[in-house]
Chains A and B, each alone.
Chain A
């Protein structure tokens, strides 16, 4: 017994002595390499950049460029920024990584361009109804997110993006590994602009967007003011002009949208950020959208999905594959809508002014403030210079390959989407007694100019306000 006791004591002693020891890991994980930003000195941009691109000059980049956290890259008016590359791989399709502030201050007289070297050629091909190259994707677009956290900078803030009177075109090449996989996984088509920063401002005013391979603008959180822009011909076989997800709050108004592959404007609270997607979409003119989307039942004009809320008023929706779709999983009680003007030149379009799989199904339950008819080709909007019955939508109900769609269906060209004063049914049919959300509060040169709801339905106002293009 004595011996046994000794043994136990010995055992217990051993355990104490040998108390398990698990040494903390010594971990060295390589951190994202950050080059300090170089002030622009030549016309070729490389690596990390900051500073000012001077008025009237042209700048180039042939590899990814980065605006570091805390840095600003500014384009004065009349500047061209050209991406160089064949667009076929991520390495030959440079991208702008904006972790700081980006400002493009074009003006009506001296607009800016962010495009590719062969842009003129691509525009010519488009006029010839050949969009194969247009939709190839020639560069990587601009991704605006806070920088990745590092041990030295654990919470980068990112910055605002302010784009005025600027042409942005032809992004869409497949993404490579330089991208955060939460933004793009390798091989994904890239957008003209990706903005994801809940706390910062995304201002896009009076600008032109053209020829994105997929989505044109995607906003994954941010305070937005998207005013008076023109969106044309985006999405080869799918993609929206402006696609907004959870965390996006603000106004989209007086935009002219023509020839989107899928929707022109889509809002969804997917990716729950804690800030509900809440956008007011008013006084936009949306024409000929949704016919290239190959997915069944998709493609249209304005979509509110999965938890999105906001006010939708005064939009002019002409010959879109589907009209307004508010899906049952949107925050239906908080989606307010009305005063829309729909026009359809075929029976299929007329039948889907309010999409059958959304709330407000069918013509009968639409708002009394809407202008619509159950008969095709009723209520011609009377544009100044555009024939809404020129194209046979009955024979081509979609989905359709882009090259079968005439140039005039997809771009503004010489058309004029102003409403004829006194004769257009849309004149003075707007609801004007609601307020923009005004999520962006700064005004002036580096802020936004929010145009309040206009009297006439659509983007162009007979009083000369609204879309200024």
Chain B
């Protein structure tokens, strides 16, 4: 095939050559120092006679001018931050010359300090470079890749990286990464190398959809750890490197609009503001004190006032400005990003249990859910750096990120056990709900680098960050039904308000404050003629979380308990039945976590072998006080432990272009606060009620990686590796019985093993490029499950049995394929990318062989960009081209004896859930100076 293709290309070339009988001039532009090809450098060929053509270099740094007549020429090559270079030559008839043009960076007295900012750090070549040079196993994604990809949030970008899949939120947006089949709890998120707190009320881990993609310069995914990195990253670390001040004054602007296909059918449902006034979105108890008796005045009906918007368009704006003073000592960059998007999601969900006689899946109800979600992301980042001299620099980084989500959800839940006599009838509960969540992150950090003497340097960081989330929820409980009448007819019942539940109003608030300090020393003496770099340092972080939670029930008055609902809640009358909120709910808590860490690390290269190793010590001290009464378990808790985490990384350079890496590291994963606090409920969005587990232990893991890397010329690369992880006390969510209900509880599950291999290939040929990666992962864990059966005497009962299964969230097969086309001449880019996520366990059932699996899926995204004027580019992106749904199933055949239900087919896997998001379109303009 390959041969055929090149033959074809040659044929095409010769055809052109014969047709016009003129020469072609081609060449490759590269960095003089690193020999890296430079993509997008502008190349102009001109003659005194007035012949002039311009182009820019392709994905492999190459350019070509065709049909150039005989003459004396000058080729001029320009590239940002590089010195302009010219070559002169005479083109004779029949010659097709080829040039190798090397550019030098603009001379700069701060050479050493500047190594990284020399190349446009956000470019692909630097990303590849970083992968090759890194001390550990790493994948990087450049700003350039992000720009031409169909992604607008960092979470979306993540799924293009090898070995990474994503967990989506209920609007179909990617939210959390899953690295090598290990879910978000095993991954830590850094911004500029510094850990930031999460505004998420349930997880420690920062939801990556909060970050607009255009504020990052580079995304680094570390798959192994060194002693100077924090140890709570068993699967890996995501580091968002935000934009830094460029050498030249730079302006980038981006404006776009978008539309969700899912809105076209029924429009988008909006709801009115929750409350107005100061502190209006906090609970009446928080605003007025614990003894406050709430009245209906505290709960205006506004969030239950709904309106429809036919076709709301998204707004996407981005602007970044940056530059340096003339002496290059002081640099500043500021970037602002705003995204406002609307989407709908349609979902079908079955509540399942098991048949008590034979443990086969039994469906209890079928629920349709319609979501309308508006997301507004605002991010402001600023970064200032000052280089006193080549040995000393400081930088200050201040950022603010806000994700505000307004979500309307309407569910209609039809019982399959009560009042159900045929498809289409049964008792129905309906539930219009509006939720507004505001998540914010403030992050300030001051960092310094000082070289004290030639081989001794110090760097430090002082960090303050705050992450908050506020949630307002309003839910109305309604009944209706299509009920079989004694005469055989089916009648649609009136819609009435649930007298006991009425309306539910929930106010949740949590706020994390991190104060951290980092200090590192690096000493690089020469011992036995070998330069050895010793580093040592430490960090201390004081983290406090405060959480408040109130749940108010607005029931119907006993004297007016039968009210029908016609869509306008103002016609209904309610009374507050929980007049003081839920002051003693466990979700009212204060949690403090102090982590103190120190490490020692060495690095040296002998011959072709680089060795990096050392050990890290982390001491964790956690304390909480919740509002629970002291008659309950876990009002207060204290957990202390420490870990010694050694790591060792070998990098053997087979040649300039090939490395073999072998690494070992030990890591941990700390449970989330929400998982430890002994609460019940708190996330009404969960399919099952969630409970805390104060006895939950941290996860520890020993990790091994072996990787082969090949970086042939240009940006091409081949990475192949295997990994093995032994995981102690992995935390998994299981469904447990609690009273009459099933609850979802995090628990430790013995020892799990996770292993697999990865393959990652990138190849560029002038205008074309493709990237492909594939990861195979296998894991195994054995736990106790319940099995229901009918005993010998005919009674229904249950027994426990052992079941082995993969870890929750681990897909056996993951693959990405993306194809790029770049036409430098007219500035056209196209990018198609495909992601395959293999089947994985979504929820672990308490019953034998009844785990809920997410089906394997293929998603296809497309994006194109075209230069319209000199510095203005137009772009279009389409996400989820194939309308790939999110589907859950139980891998047991739906029993033929079960009742006839829509979506269920006897003998096929039992259908649990299907969410459809449909396509999303974006159209925008980008300006670059």
Q: List residues of chain A with CB under 8 Å of any chain B CB.
A: 3-4, 7, 11, 14-15, 18-33, 66, 88-90, 131-132, 135-136, 148, 150, 174, 176-178, 180-183, 185-187, 189, 196, 214, 220, 236-238, 245-246, 269-272, 274-276, 278, 292, 294-298, 305-307, 309, 327-329, 331, 334, 351-352, 356-357, 362, 399-403
Contact = CB atoms under 8 A, between A and B. Distances in A.
Contacts of B483: 296-297, 356-357
A25 B738 contact: no
B50 interface: no
Contacts of B899: 328
A400 B558 contact: no
B632 A11 contact: no
B521 interface: no
B499 A27 contact: no
Given A32-B633, A177-B632, A185 B645 contact: no
13 contacts: A3-B607, A22-B644, A25-B639, A28-B639, A32-B633, A150-B633, A178-B629, A182-B739, A182-B741, A276-B797, A352-B486, A357-B419, A402-B559
A102 B97 CA distance: 103
A183 B739 contact: yes
Contact of B798 (A214, A272, A327): A272
Given A174-B577, A187-B553, A20 B681 contact: no
B15 interface: no
Nearest to A17: B646
B551 interface: yes
A30 B634 contact: yes
Contact of A30 (B580, B635, B786, B798): B635
B493 A351 contact: no
A92 to B, nearest CB: 10
A15 to B, nearest CB: 6
The 6 closest A-B CB pairs, nearest first, are A177-B584, A237-B499, A18-B646, A181-B680, A351-B486, A20-B666
A403 B560 CA distance: 8
B728 A22 contact: yes
Interface in B767-819: 786, 788, 794-798
B654 to A, nearest CB: 14
Interface of B: 356-357, 362, 417-421, 427-428, 479-481, 483-487, 493, 496-500, 551, 553, 556-562, 577-580, 582, 584-586, 606-607, 609, 611, 613, 615, 627-646, 648, 650, 664, 666, 668, 680-681, 691, 694-695, 697-698, 700, 702, 728, 737-741, 786, 788, 794-798, 899
Contacts of A135: 558
Given A272-B356, A294-B499, 8 more contacts: A20-B644, A23-B642, A28-B639, A30-B635, A185-B681, A271-B739, A297-B483, A401-B558
Contact of B636 (A30, A148, A357): A30
A269 B737 CA distance: 13
A362 B484 CA distance: 11
A396 to B, nearest CB: 11
A11 B633 contact: no
Nearest to B627: A177
A418 B357 CA distance: 42
A209 B628 CA distance: 32
B578 A187 contact: yes
Contact of B558 (A18, A272, A402): A402
B417 A27 contact: no
Contact of B421 (A15, A177, A329, A357): A357
B794 A334 contact: yes
A178 B606 contact: no
A348 to B, nearest CB: 8
Nearest to B636: A30
A178 B632 contact: yes
Contact of A29 (B560, B582, B634, B739): B634
A122 to B, nearest CB: 13
Contacts of A66: 631
B723 to A, nearest CB: 17
B417 A329 contact: yes
Contacts of A269: 356, 796
Contacts of B641: 22-26
A327 B421 CA distance: 10
A296 B607 contact: no
Contact of B498 (A14, A187, A295): A295
A132 B788 CA distance: 44
Contacts of B628: 177
Contacts of B611: 7, 11
A298 B740 contact: no
A131 B558 contact: yes
Contacts of A174: 553, 577-578
B292 to A, nearest CB: 11
Given A32-B630, A174-B577, A362-B486, A7 B700 contact: no
A352 B694 CA distance: 50
A85 to B, nearest CB: 14
Of the listed residues A131, A136, A180, the one surrounded by the most CB atoms of chain B closer than 10 A to its CB is: A180
Nearest to B421: A357
A356 B633 contact: no
Given A177-B627, A238-B500, A30 B633 contact: yes
B484 to A, nearest CB: 5
Contacts of A331: 356-357, 796
B534 to A, nearest CB: 14
Contacts of B607: 3-4
A194 to B, nearest CB: 10
Contact of B560 (A27, A131, A176, A401): A401
A272 B737 contact: yes
A363 to B, nearest CB: 8
Contacts of B643: 20-23
B419 A297 contact: yes
